Structure formats: C-alpha cells, structure tokens
C-alpha cells in the first residue's frame, strides 16, 4: 500500500482528539500540498471522519514568519470550519512541537484569538496562557421552545454560553443545539457549556455535538464559578480534569496532552 509522503499525528488533550500535521515550509507536507488540488477544509473533513482517526479537528503547524515569534497554526474543526482558539488543542500543540522538535519550550503560538504561550509543567502537564478576558461574564436569558434558560455569555477565546444546571440531564442535546445557534448569540452562535457544580461539558461549534473536553469551555466555566474571585479552579469534564488559574493578566489552563499515534495515510484517501 502506497502512503502519502508525510505523517499525521493523533493527540489526546483530556479526551479532546486532534490531528496534527507538520506544515513547515520546505517539509514533506509543504511539498505535497503544493501539487494538490485538495483544500485543507476538504482534507480536514476527510481525515477527521475516518474511523481510525475520528478527531475533533485538524491542525497544521508551522513557524511564524518571524522565528522569534514562535509558531502559527491553521486550525480546523472536524466539519472544516475555523476556530479562533482551542485550549486543549493548544496543549496538544505543545506535545506535538516537542515530539518533532519544531520549537524550544516554552514557545508562543499565534491563533486567531491572539498569541498564547505554552509550556510544560514539572509534573508533565501542559500549561497555556490563554487570551486575556476582555469582559466579565454577561448574564443572558435565552428562550427555546417556550422555556427560558438563564446563563452567562463568556468569551474565553471563543464565545461560550455557560448554563448552570443541577444535573446535566436537565438539558438535552437538541436544546443545546438550539442554544448554540440562538439568534441572540449573533450570526456565529456560541459553544454551550453546561455547568453542574465543578463539572462541565460543552456542545462545540464545528463538531456540533458534545466533546470529551473543551479548554475554552473550562476557562469559561471557571470564570462563572469564580464569581470574580482569583485562585485555582478545578473543572471536571467527561475526558478528565482541567485546572484553571485566575488572577493574572491571562487565565492559565493546565491539563494533560499526549500523542496516541503516528499514522501514515494511504494515497488513495485523496485520489
């Protein structure tokens, strides 16, 4: 079986699964891509839907035009849409960068939500200095099918509607889908993060379903939980535990990230 001349890496960030490709200028993928008619959107939709890859998104990583500025990613959700920021993927970018020796630690990563910094903790977890929070959580009441849902709109790199619940079972998938596209949240809508005590789960744009974890969702949940207090907040998501430190210039998101597979793609995938 003939395979493509570059490898795809599969990484896990607290249960959030991402594919990464080394897109550095002059590299194997860079040379291959220059001869193809397939767009990165098409590549993402194809690769993320394959059973053995099944990922929440695909990230192409390269050096910044100014080497002193670190790295830049081209980030796509599984449906091919773009995303301003993703905390779990940023931690995975740290693990991937370390694996392929693309940048020394710590390093800066340019995203559509601004530049974040990534470093490895002594305990092996990865820490991301997330985008600065520009506004405190804004209370919103949204109506779906005649029922009101009172939560908070928070932009933690991407917008989240954080909805406190006594049990996740209170709000079903269809309600989250309707809240995610609610006209009061603007044309692009928002992720919906359900918050049960210190536990949270997020219905994500671009995936259009719940995900095992969401870094920006954890930050948004911590901001609502904190009620303006500073300190360290533990947020438990279905895929694992995340820590959010509040009080500095930026929230710090801390959690696991590791490579699960290095995969060769058959040429026929993009025939």
For the segment 184-204, what is each residue's pLDDT rounded down to a tens digit? 999 999 999 999 999 999 999
Residue 78 pLDDT > 90: yes
Please report how many Cα atoms fall inside a 13 Å half-sphere around the Cα of residue 172, on the Cβ side. Answer: 4
Residue 37 pLDDT > 80: yes
In the block, residue with structure tokens 């910094």: 117
* Whole-angstrom Cα Rg for the chain: 18
- For position 68, what pLDDT does the model report? 86
Pick 3-130+257-270's CATH classification: 3.40.50.300, 3.90.180.10, 3.10.310.10, 3.40.50.620: 3.10.310.10
Residues annotated as part of the active site: 86, 214
Cβ proximity of 4 and 263 under 8 Å: no
| Domain positions in the chain | 3-130+257-270, 138-248
Q: Model-level pTM?
A: 0.94
* Exposure string for 85-102, b = 16+ CB within 10 A, e = fewer: bbbbbbbbbbbbbbeeeb
Residue 271 pLDDT > 80: no
Average pLDDT of the segment spanning 33-39: 91
- Band (pLDDT 50/70/90 cuts) for residue 96 is very high
- For position 52, what pLDDT does the model report? 83
Rounded percentage of the chain residues whose pLDDT exceeds 70: 100
Average pLDDT of the segment spanning 88-102: 97
Cβ proximity of 195 and 149 under 8 Å: no
Same CATH fold assignment for domains 3-130+257-270 and 138-248 = yes
Token couple for 226: 């904190």
Beta strand 159-164 with 191-196 is: parallel
Higher-pLDDT residue of 238, 68:
238
SS3 159: strand
Phi/psi-derived region of residue 266, left when phi > 0, alpha when psi is between -120 and 50, beta in every other case: beta
The arrangement of secondary structure in 138-248, i.e. its CATH architecture, is: Roll (3.10)
């Amino acid at each position: 079986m003939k395979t493509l001349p570059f490898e795809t890496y599969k990484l896990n960030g607290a249960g959030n699964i991402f594919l990464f490709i080394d897109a550095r200028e002059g590299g194997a993928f860079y040379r291959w891509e220059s001869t193809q008619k397939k767009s990165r959107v098409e590549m993402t939709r194809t690769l993320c839907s394959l059973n053995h890859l099944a990922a929440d998104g695909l990230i192409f990583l390269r050096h910044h035009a100014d080497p002193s500025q670190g790295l830049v990613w081209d980030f796509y959700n599984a449906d091919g849409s773009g995303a301003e920021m993703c905390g779990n993927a940023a931690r995975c970018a740290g693990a991937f960068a370390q694996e392929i020796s693309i940048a020394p630690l710590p390093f800066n990563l340019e995203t559509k939500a601004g530049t974040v910094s990534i470093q490895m903790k002594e305990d092996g977890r990865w820490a991301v200095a997330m985008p600065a929070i520009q506004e405190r959580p804004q209370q919103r009441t949204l109506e779906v099918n005649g029922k009101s849902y009172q939560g908070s709109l928070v932009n933690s790199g991407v917008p989240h509607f954080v909805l406190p619940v006594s049990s996740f079972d209170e709000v079903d998938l269809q309600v989250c889908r309707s809240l995610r596209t609610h006209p009061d949240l603007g044309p692009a809508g928002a992720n919906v993060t359900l918050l049960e005590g210190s536990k949270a789960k997020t219905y994500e744009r671009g995936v259009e379903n719940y995900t095992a974890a969401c870094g920006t969702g954890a930050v948004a949940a911590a901001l609502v939980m904190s009620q303006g207090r500073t300190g360290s907040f533990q947020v438990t998501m279905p895929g694992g535990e995340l820590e959010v430190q509040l009080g500095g210039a930026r929230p710090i998101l801390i959690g696991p990230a590791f490579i699960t597979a290095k995969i060769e793609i058959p040429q026929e995938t993009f025939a």
